[in-house]
Amino acid sequence: MPYPKQITLTLRIDWSELDLFGHVNNVAFMKYVQAARVNYWEQIGLYKLYTDNKHVPMLASTHCEFKKPLFYPGEVIIHSQMDFIKNSSFGISHQLYNSDNELAAEAKDVMVMFDFVKNEKLPFPDAIKNLVEKLD
């Protein structure tokens, strides 16, 4: 089932994120993706699952394709959306844009739902799935 709703996060590019060549370092791109991932979790209620009962998504893999450098000063605008939900895993894709609305990178995350009390995988919660499906 497609999950077209995007959640957007805008971050200020910091001088400290630049590398020797004057553009944003690849490590900072991954920091932006992490911030967008956590923001998405918060928006759909996954972070509350952790605070309530220690059920949390655990990152299984992440991938980033760099398209265009980012520079200071500026912002990075990250659009994130659900790609898939399986039994215990799910995927989120991210598109990172510069201040001129040019695509700078595309990233994909795969996460597995995990119970930190029992130390085992668990099914993706139906209540959260319903929230994702109802995003407008």
Q: Per residue in 19-53, pLDDT tens?
A: 999 999 999 999 999 999 999 988 888 887 777 88
Q: Per residue in 84-135, pLDDT tens?
A: 999 999 999 999 999 999 999 999 999 999 998 899 999 998 888 887 877 7
The whole-number pLDDT of residue 51 equals 79
According to CATH, the topology of domain 7-134 is Thiol Ester Dehydrase; Chain A (3.10.129)
Report the C-alpha gap between 86 and 71 in whole angstroms.
Answer: 37
Here the contacts of 132-136 (C-beta below 8 Å, separation 24 or greater) are 132/3, 132/5, 132/44, 132/82, 132/85, 133/1, 133/3, 135/3, 135/5, 135/7, 135/44, 136/5
* In the chain, where the domains are located: 7-134
